[in-house]
Amino acid sequence: MPASAAAIEEAAEALRRGELVVIPTETVYGLACDAPNPEALRRTFAAKGRPADHPLIAHVQSVEQARSLARDWPPCADVLSRRFWPGPLTVVVPRGAGAPTELVGGLDTVAIRSPNHSVALAIIKALGRPVAAPSANPYMSVSPTRVEHLEPGIVAAAALVVDAGPCERGVESTVIDCAQEPPALLRPGAVTRSEIEEVLGVVLADPPTGAAGPGRQARHYAPRTRLILVDALGPDDAGLTFDAPANALQVRLPREPRQCERDLYDALHRLDALGLESAKVALPPDAPEWETVHNRLRKAATL
Ligand code: TXA
Ligand code: MG
């Protein structure tokens, strides 16, 4: 259903009944459910084929609603939410009684963000409760940034798909652990490490080494085609390139980091649609502004 006042109302009704709805956000499309409803949360994990100990992000329309899920609201969460919400920044904070154990995968923390998308915000508002929304893709595969990317299994599991066109940012939110001191960067994303460090006035920690941790598996965001990371593509290679495509099996990525993030998953979906066994991917420069693209390409290329 194209995004409209009627679609927003229908989405909120379906969520209230405990059903799943694919919603647009500024990062990627999400598979939404009513966050306080344990049965709806279990359905979400089942639809994605995602292990129950891999927690979801609660999406809220205000800091007040976020705080209803948290046991306390550390200064880090306060500063980041004021600066970046609504926007592609997720804070991990101590879990409060309002966050069901299914949502947090049994952890004593909860991940929360407020999406910068008028349709997503309107749906949360119409429901009147936080919405849990993992990316609307099967576990480990590439996130959808257009409804055309949705897998049939995900569409079948949803009562409704709300289509608002291509996502503006194209990569997932940055996840910051505010429950530890100093805060840690758990997942690079649409907000850069340096923007966050500047606002907090601290150097972000890395996640504890060796710890598995939710969402930290080496392989993720992966297409079916096996990816091989290279410095540049040759004229006969298939894959992703920053140069003018030399053949019909090459997909071009923008040379500017934010534009590349916006187009990256669409390029991976297009590459996958070629049905190749393997393809090469040209790595961007090894520079801080490319951290998120590097992260996603490395995970996509991990066997
Ligand atoms: O941009 C986004 O964040 C998108 C859109 C739909 O909002 N959502 C998204 O959700 O990417 P998902 O479920 O695909 O990824 C959630 C990430 C995972 O890496 C998960 O492990 C981490 O957030 N996460 C959730 N709760 C956590 C917690 N309590 N502690 C640490 N990491 C957590
Ligand atoms: Mg995901």
pLDDT tens figures, 176-229: 999 999 999 999 999 999 999 999 999 999 987 655 666 667 777 778 899 999
Tens-digit pLDDT profile for residues 32-83:
999 999 999 999 999 999 999 999 999 999 999 999 999 999 999 999 999 9
Cα–Cα distance for residue pair 214/99, rounded to 1 Å: 17
Site to substitute for ligand 1 among 23, 71, 90, most atoms within 8 A of C-beta:
90
User: Is the confidence at residue 303, as pLDDT, over 80?
Assistant: no
pLDDT at 211: 54
pLDDT at 224: 87
Ligand 2 geometric centre to CA of 143 (Å): 6
Of all atoms in ligand 1, which is nearest to the CA of residue 109? 29
pLDDT at 216: 66
pLDDT at 302: 84
User: Is the confidence at residue 155, as pLDDT, over 60?
Assistant: yes
Site to substitute for ligand 1 among 25, 117, 135, 137, most atoms within 8 A of C-beta:
135
Please classify residue 109 by burial: count the beta carbons closer than 10 Å to its beta carbon, then call 0-12 exposed, 13-18 middle and 19+ buried.
Answer: buried
The overall average pLDDT reported for the chain is 95
User: Is the confidence at residue 274, as pLDDT, over 70?
Assistant: yes
Q: Say which residues have a Cβ less than 8 Å from residue 106's Cβ, sequence separation at least 6.
A: 52, 53
Find out whether 67 and 18 touch, Cβ atoms under 8 Å: no
For the chain, what percent of residues have pLDDT higher than 70?
97
The DSSP output letter for 34 is E
Which amino acid makes up residue 298?
Answer: R
Cα–Cα distance for residue pair 135/138, rounded to 1 Å: 9
Ligand 2 geometric centre to CA of 137 (Å): 7
For the chain, what percent of residues have pLDDT higher than 90?
93
Specify the long-range contacts of residues 77-85, CB closer than 8 Å, at least 24 apart: 77/178, 79/199, 79/200, 80/176, 80/178, 80/196, 80/199, 80/200, 81/114, 83/199, 84/191, 84/199, 85/113, 85/114, 85/116
Bridge partners (DSSP) of residue 160 are 21
Q: What is the pTM of this model?
A: 0.96
The DSSP output letter for 144 is P
pLDDT at 273: 93
Where does the pLDDT of residue 258 fall: very low under 50, low under 70, confident under 90, or very high at 90 and above? very high
Site to substitute for ligand 1 among 113, 172, 292, 299, most atoms within 8 A of C-beta:
172
Ligand 2 geometric centre to CA of 113 (Å): 14
**Which 3 state secondary structure label does DSSP give 205?**
strand
Among 157, 119, 123, 120, smallest CA distance to 138 is for 157
Distances (CA, A) of 177 to 13, 58, 101, 288: 33, 14, 18, 20
Token output for 257:
């980091």
Among 203, 243, 77, 215, smallest CA distance to 139 is for 215
Token output for 39:
């049965």
Cα–Cα distance for residue pair 244/252, rounded to 1 Å: 7
